[in-house]
Homo-oligomer: A and B are copies of this chain.
Amino acid sequence: MTIDEILDNIHPLPAASKQTIKQYITAVSYPRGHILFQADRIKMTVYFIKKGFVRAYAHQGDHEVTFWFGKEGEPVISMKSYVESQKGYEDVELLEDCELYELNATDLQRLFQEDIHIANWGRRFAEQELIRTEERLISRQFRTATDRYKELLKENPDLVQRVALGHIASYLGITQVSLSRIRAEIR
């Protein structure tokens, strides 16, 4: 997925504005296991996934709880950093070797003040993250772990193949044993 597609997909930009924003975007690659964001650090960076899988997780006492998976075409931010320049909850880890587009959020904030099209692009970006986040909340509040697992299987069959079951179980809010039981039932 190209950076043009990703940018336009969020909100179409006039050619000049798109050129402006693209000046601040670079392509980067990191290996599986690389930590993109750390819970205890503010990092004013926006990534877009060109290729690969990513997960966000938080430390909960002795174990870690995965609460987001990201795939090709999706943005990766630490919301608290991006929005409030504060530390967030999460580490973000690459689940496989990834190609990413990188954009410094401080540069972006300056562009928001200078270009109304970029300001509205940034608004749409936040709005779309808002909808995604609400959907995750609704899914969590209204669907059973079994249903949510089935949905994950359907939407991201490759992810379920490649990611450790423990991560998926914590994402679903259940133990790995329970997830095994679910898998046994729907087989």
Contact = CB atoms under 8 A, between A and B. Distances in A.
Interface of A: 58, 60, 65, 67, 79-80, 82-84, 89, 112-113, 115-116, 119-120, 122-123, 126-131, 133-134, 136-138, 140-142, 173
Given A79-B130, A83-B131, 5 more contacts: A58-B138, A65-B141, A83-B127, A89-B138, A130-B133
Contacts of A122: 120, 123
Contact of A134 (B79, B112, B173): B79
A130 B84 CA distance: 11
A84 B89 CA distance: 28
Given A83-B130, A137-B67, A60 B142 contact: yes
A66 to B, nearest CB: 10
Contacts of A138: 58, 67, 89
Given A126-B126, A133-B134, A134-B79, A142 B65 contact: yes
A178 to B, nearest CB: 16
Contact of A137 (B80, B113, B136): B136
Contacts of A84: 131
23 contacts: A60-B142, A65-B141, A65-B142, A67-B137, A79-B130, A79-B134, A80-B131, A80-B134, A83-B128, A83-B130, A112-B120, A113-B116, A113-B120, A116-B116, A120-B122, A120-B123, A123-B123, A123-B126, A133-B133, A136-B137, A137-B140, A140-B140, A141-B173
